[in-house]
């Protein structure tokens, strides 16, 4: 041999994975109450955005039809289409939230997170008074 030193280290012979098998990068385990709060906030935000766009789109379509302005009609139709897309996103998010949070017990959640869930339910039912009432409690 020409003076080479060969290290015979058993660590180099195998590859070991440290972590949870099947976990995705950037996804944290546990703390389900925080997950519920985030999910309900996101669903509320998507629903509000969709309703705003739908109202604006309907208003533009009405004005365009009234005055014969086809640009307004077209813009209103685009906004209405966008609102349906946001509604679909919200629906998909709610389904994912339901799948992931099946094992969560409501009794384990903090009062803050329970209020966030109540707000979301009132928003789904269309109770504007109840949403503002729960915001005032904090």
What are the residue ranges spanned by the domains of the chain?
A: 43-124
| Residue 42 in tokens | 């996101």
E-strand stretches of 2-128 = none
Q: What is the pLDDT of residues 46-68, one digit of tens each?
A: 989 999 999 999 999 999 999 88
For the cut 80, the answer to whether the pLDDT of residue 37 exceeds it is no
Compute CA distances 2 → 5, 6, 8, whole Å: 9, 11, 17
For the cut 80, the answer to whether the pLDDT of residue 7 exceeds it is no
CB 135 within 8 A of CB 120: no
When the pLDDT of each residue in the chain is averaged and rounded to a whole number, the result is 78
E-strand stretches of the chain = none
pLDDT band at 119 (very low <50, low <70, confident <90, very high): confident
pLDDT at 105: 76
Record the pTM: 0.52
User: Which residue has better confidence, 93 or 134?
Assistant: 93
pLDDT at 1: 52
């Amino acid at each position: 041999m020409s003076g080479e030193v060969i290290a015979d280290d058993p660590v180099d012979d195998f590859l070991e994975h440290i972590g949870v098998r099947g976990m995705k990068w950037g996804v944290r385990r546990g703390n389900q109450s925080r997950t519920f709060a985030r999910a309900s906030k996101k669903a509320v935000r998507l629903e509000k955005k969709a309703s705003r766009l739908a109202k604006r789109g309907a208003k533009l379509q009405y004005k365009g039809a009234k005055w014969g302005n086809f640009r307004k009609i077209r813009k209103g139709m685009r906004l209405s289409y966008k609102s349906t897309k946001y509604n679909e996103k919200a629906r998909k998010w709610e389904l994912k939230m339901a799948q992931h949070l099946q094992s969560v017990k409501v009794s384990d959640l903090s009062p803050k997170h329970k209020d966030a869930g109540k707000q979301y339910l009132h928003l789904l039912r269309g109770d504007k008074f109840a949403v503002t009432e729960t915001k005032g409690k904090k």
